[in-house]
Amino acid sequence: MATENTNQHIQRGLKNRHIQMIALGGAIGTGLFYGSATVVKMAGPAITLSYLIGGIVIFFIMRALGEMAVAHPVSGSFSQYAYQYWGELPGFIAGWNYWFNYVVVGMAELSVVGTYINYWVPDIPTWVSALVCLVVVTLINTINVKAYGEFEFWFAIIKVLAIVGMIVFGIAVILFGVGNGGQPTGISNLWSHGGFLPNGLNGILFSLVLVMFSFGGVELVGITAGEAENPQKSIPQAINQVVWRILLFYVGALAVILAIFPWDQIEVTGSPFVQIFSYVGIPSAANLLNFVVLTAALSAYNSALYSNGRMLYGLAAQGNAPKIFGKLNSAGVPMTAVLVSSAFTLFAVLLSYLNPEKVFLYFMALATISIIINWATILIVQLKFRRSQEQQNKPVGFKMPLYPVTSYISLAFLAIVVVIMAFMPDMRFSLYIAPVWLLGLYIGYKLKNTAH
């Protein structure tokens, strides 16, 4: 198969620490820092439960991907596995859908970069900040994979330190009353404002859609397998640690925030994180957090561009994208694939120039549905991969726990999330687009085959 040959030129320059942080950085996006207030309004303190449920399902999806990534550490990740175990059309759809998803995620992150910069320099138009960010991150991605890994490592460290700092300060307020005149707040806020489930089960159900969206990006670990120095060791480690980190960062951080501030008094506009740092009397709290969310957005865009380049490279290796995307520069980077992906996110710069408010909302709806298609593909392909291994009596090195029950439960959960989206006016939009998008991909596949 063509992929095996091309993959020998991709350089395995990502160390274990890079992979660990890429996995973690992928799971902690602007969703936690910026979007968490909206989700809290839906479910109240029970939002911690929503993140717990979502985190468990994500763990199973990651284990399904890990099973295949350890057996075949290639750069096209699950598009390559879909191509190999399910067929040409699923491989084509999985790859292009993932590429599109990350173009959209990249656009979404770019569209908010300007907002963060404006906090310090209000006179700079948002599209200028977006353009500068796009150029810098594109340059980082064309040097070599180590440059990408190193940047991602430090971006992720900033996010992690911010969350750990917030949890530590929060616990100090809860136990010792720091910033509250020495009066410990305790944790009664978790149930004294309308109960732990103030909006009932409906609140939890509706919040699950946004919760799942905030986890988008964890599957990036599968893409790094093609460039990991020791994928058999680093991929299982990164995947297994993702879950307890999700619990610590999402569930822990939100539990602390909601213990200090009554859930119905959290402002939707700002970030709950700013509120905590201001509360304990750190005067530059808002500046500090603005810096953190800016690095979180840059990190998400950095990862989006990295995965786009690798996905186009994988598609070219399958013959599902023009051959030029399969070419590597002297540093082993799929340069053309990275530059073309970057050019597509330029649309975001244009759109943020035309209508910045609406842009983010539409991108989110599109990204949410395409990410669900990605995760469903991973689970279906893993079932087919496992059958194929069993038929050939091949051992599976990194097994999915409780297979196949967990695969089917996770698929059913994703189906429920899609149904819930139909009842949410902001999300319904993406359900209208999904069939059109899939049909478009199918037509693209047919055209590619008639051209050959």
Dump pLDDT digits (tens) for 214-272. 787 778 877 787 778 888 888 888 888 877 777 788 888 888 888 888 888 776 656 67
Closest C-alpha among 358, 351, 355 to residue 426? 358
**pLDDT, position 5:** 39
Backbone dihedral angles phi then psi of residue 14, each to the nearest 5 degrees: -95, 120
Q: 177 falls in which pLDDT band (50, 70, 90)? A: confident
HSE-up of 178 (CA within 13 Å, CB side)? Answer: 15
Evaluate whether 55 touches 220 at the Cβ level (below 8 Å): no
Across the range 308-337, mean pLDDT stands at 87
Evaluate whether 114 touches 125 at the Cβ level (below 8 Å): yes
Q: 31 falls in which pLDDT band (50, 70, 90)? A: low
Residue 170 has pLDDT above 70, yes or no: yes
Measured CA to CA, the distance from residue 119 to residue 289 in angstroms comes to 11
Across the range 307-328, mean pLDDT stands at 87
Residue 3 has pLDDT above 60, yes or no: no
**pLDDT, position 356:** 61
**pLDDT, position 2:** 38
SS3 category, 191: coil
How is residue 368 written in tokens?
Answer: 């949410």
Across the range 164-181, mean pLDDT stands at 83
Q: How many CB atoms lie within 10 A of CB 354?
A: 9
Residue 379 has pLDDT above 90, yes or no: yes
% of the chain with per-residue pLDDT over 70: 90
SS3 category, 321: coil
Beta carbons within 8 Å of 108's beta carbon, 6+ residues apart: 348, 360, 363, 364, 367
Across the range 332-346, mean pLDDT stands at 88
The more confidently predicted of residues 361 and 153 is 153
Residue 380 has pLDDT above 90, yes or no: yes
**pLDDT, position 355:** 67
**pLDDT, position 413:** 97
Indicate the average pLDDT of the chain.
Answer: 83
Instruction: Give the residue carrying structure tokens 């089960």.
Output: 201
**pLDDT, position 410:** 97
**pLDDT, position 243:** 74
% of the chain with per-residue pLDDT over 90: 18
Q: Poorest-confidence range of 23-32, 34-43, 279-288, 328-337? A: 23-32
Measured CA to CA, the distance from residue 447 to residue 442 in angstroms comes to 9
Give residue-wise pLDDT tens across range 45-87.
898 899 899 989 999 999 999 999 888 887 767 788 998 999 9
